[in-house]
Structure 1
């Protein structure tokens, strides 16, 4: 039986997933960090690492899920003006985590289709 689900779509859907990765990355970089003080530098570094992973498409599902959790954390302690952007980031990151990275990512090269055969 053939699978009906394409794990790493190419063409238009693959380009759409690149745009979704870039949108989540941009929203992530524009968010105010949920911590201040001594942990702000560590949070900035973690945000930069997450953004870089999204940009190249490495561990995309895990990175997007982490962005979603981070956005929910921002929503928890945010004022009324910051809730909507954090909600947009959380929903976009959740969609990316469910859809995957697409064919134009490092994940597709690392975990893409392989042909397995029996040794003769």
Structure 2
């Protein structure tokens, strides 16, 4: 996981990524709440939304979110999928659990 995201930006870039994660989680909940036909789909939507809000395993959660959005076959699904893919490529930011767990480490020799 550490080599997967290039950096964990702070400041306005980190705040922007936090906002992006929260917006994607809200869109997933909004779209998934009405579309979930089974209890496991509702559980999946809730779990992915919580992971995105916390920034926990963000690339995995965002990739699953992109798949979920692409299955909806409408323009909101495409927007959500594009947002999720952008989040996969950019990483979670400094204000995420991933930054605490997998952030940069000092190598002392």
Same fold (TM over 0.5): yes
Deviation at 1:6, TM superposition (A): 5.7
Matching of residue 88 in structure 1 with residue 79 in structure 2: yes
Deviation by residue 1:2-49 (Cα, 9 ceiling, x = unmatched): xxx96000000000000000110011011146663xxx1110001000
Match of 1:80 in 2: none
Matching of residue 114 in structure 1 with residue 105 in structure 2: yes
How many Å separate the matches in 1 of 2:86 and 2:31?
18
Larger radius of gyration: 1
How many Å separate the matches in 2 of 1:27 and 1:14?
20
Question: Structure 1, unaligned stretches of length 5 or more?
Answer: 76-82
Which secondary structure state, in structure 1, belongs to the residue aligned with residue 104 of structure 2? coil
Match of 2:47 in 1: 49
TM (norm. structure 2) is 0.88
Matches within 5 A, 1:1-120: 7-32=7-32, 36=37, 40-75=38-73, 83-118=74-109
